[in-house]
Amino acid sequence: MSTITPDILRQWRHEFHRHPETAFEEQRTSARIAEILDARGIEMVTGLGGGTGVVAWVDGCRGSGSAIGLRADIDALDVTEANAFAHASRTPGKMHACGHDGHTTMLLGAAWALADNPDFAGRVYFIFQPAEENEGGGRVMVEEGLFERFPMEAVYGVHNWPGLAVGEAAVHETAVMAAFDVFTVKLSGYGCHAAMPHLGKDVVLAACQLVSQLQGIVSRETPAHQTAVLSVTQFHAGDAYNVMPETVELCGTVRCFDPELRHYIEARFRQAIASLATFHGLEASIDYQSRYPATFNTPAHANRCAEVLEAMPDIRQVHRDMPPSMASEDFAFMLQQCPGAYIWLGNGKDSAALHNPHYDFNDELTPLGVAYWTTLVRTLLG
Ligand SMILES: [Zn+2]
Ligand SMILES: [Zn+2]
């Protein structure tokens, strides 16, 4: 018998939701995770991944065997919550708008359920990872020696997915999430009176040309069967009607899957700016950061996950043909080092989108997520 109930899961989830913490500052969250694991006598190491990561483990009662890892992200976002329910964020400007409160709860539930009933062989590691959003806590854990310190033969991840009903899942055989790069470009010219632009060097005109030129890298140079997105998301210049500004700053993001295409886009991006700066007589500085690689499942592991889901009574449909998302995921760093798979579980057809201020993780999904984790463990380590 498991001591875990939907009510307990709901309480845990609501508590995490009330107290969102962002990248590498998940002190309270991390302490609560350790407290919940400790209450069930589960062994763990804390202080990982820059300080707030936790790795716990449960050994099966059927003897030794291989080890697998299950991972949850624990961080929140810099979003002001628009929900008014009792478990809404109590920290102004921060919110669990991506459902990592739910992921954390599902993994804690699985740890308890497997500790209650460890009818498998080998070991399960429960990886609670900080800073999934933007800051790459997954990379930090890998660089810190996650797989050397806790050797495992495969690692698995889950993300809730708005738009899919609870009871639906999606499994991708290879690419699931895109690579994620960000850029800041600063063009410096020569400011002057707006009535006499010939006396200056116009950074606004140059920046406008740059925005359209950059779109050509995706629309004209990327093969039509490949996928890439380049979005300029910030454009800052000037503060008067009659002054040509001296500088302009553009920021944005690039997403794609193919590593060669990723390098090509960056190279062409740099060329476009260099030649534009020469033509207009401007100084250009480029800060181009490769943040996350694309997330690729290992086909064999993805197929096992799909089989497990298809055999679960509460899973009505497993989508095998959904296109990958152009959003990104730092679980990619773990999958670069260790085979495994990252799947989506439906958060409800009417769920607000991820990162939306009205979003909330669906409590109906939590027991299903626990069941997925425990079924996966019992199947793989049976
Ligand atoms: Zn997110
Ligand atoms: Zn997320």
Q: Domain 179-291 - what CATH class?
A: alpha beta
Ligand approaching nearest to the C-alpha of 157: 2
* Average pLDDT taken over every residue of the chain: 97
The two tokens of residue 280 are 């207009």
Q: Does the annotation count 75 as an active-site position?
A: yes
- List, for residues 325-381, the tens digit of each pLDDT value: 999 999 999 999 999 999 999 999 999 999 999 999 999 999 999 999 999 999 999
What local confidence, expressed as pLDDT, does residue 1 receive?
55
From the list 175, 171, 177, the residue with the least C-alpha distance to 317 is 171
Q: Where are the domains of the chain?
A: 6-177+294-380, 179-291
Ligand approaching nearest to the C-alpha of 354: 1
Mean local confidence (pLDDT), 23-43:
98
Taking the C-alpha atoms of residue 94 and residue 21, their distance in angstroms, rounded to an integer, is: 7
Ligand approaching nearest to the C-alpha of 361: 2
The answer to the question of whether 193 is labelled as a binding residue is: no
- List, for residues 39-66, the tens digit of each pLDDT value: 999 999 999 999 999 999 999 999 999 9
- List, for residues 107-161, the tens digit of each pLDDT value: 999 999 999 999 999 999 999 999 999 999 999 999 999 999 999 999 999 999 9
- List, for residues 198-224, the tens digit of each pLDDT value: 999 999 999 999 999 999 999 999 999
Q: Please tell me the distance between residue 98's alpha carbon and the centre of ligand 1 in angstroms.
A: 5
Q: Cβ-count burial of 225 within 10 angstroms (0-12 exposed, 13-18 middle, 19+ buried)?
A: exposed
The reply to whether domains 6-177+294-380 and 179-291 share a CATH topology is: no
What dotted CATH number matches 6-177+294-380? 3.40.630.10
The answer to the question of whether 14 is labelled as a binding residue is: no
The answer to the question of whether 364 is labelled as a binding residue is: no
User: Residue holding tokens 């290879």?
Assistant: 174
- Give the CB-side neighbour count of residue 197, counting CA atoms within 13 A: 11
What local confidence, expressed as pLDDT, does residue 309 receive?
98
Q: Please, are residues 218 and 194 in contact by the beta-carbon 8 Å criterion?
A: no
Q: Does the annotation count 135 as an active-site position?
A: no
- List, for residues 261-306, the tens digit of each pLDDT value: 999 999 999 999 999 999 999 999 999 999 999 999 999 999 999 9
Q: What percent of the chain has pLDDT over 70?
A: 100
- Point out the catalytic residue in the list 73, 75, 81, 363: 75
Q: Please tell me the distance between residue 110's alpha carbon and the centre of ligand 2 in angstroms.
A: 19
What local confidence, expressed as pLDDT, does residue 346 receive?
98
- List, for residues 220-241, the tens digit of each pLDDT value: 999 999 999 999 999 999 999 9
Taking the C-alpha atoms of residue 344 and residue 329, their distance in angstroms, rounded to an integer, is: 12
Q: Is the pLDDT of residue 2 over 80?
A: no
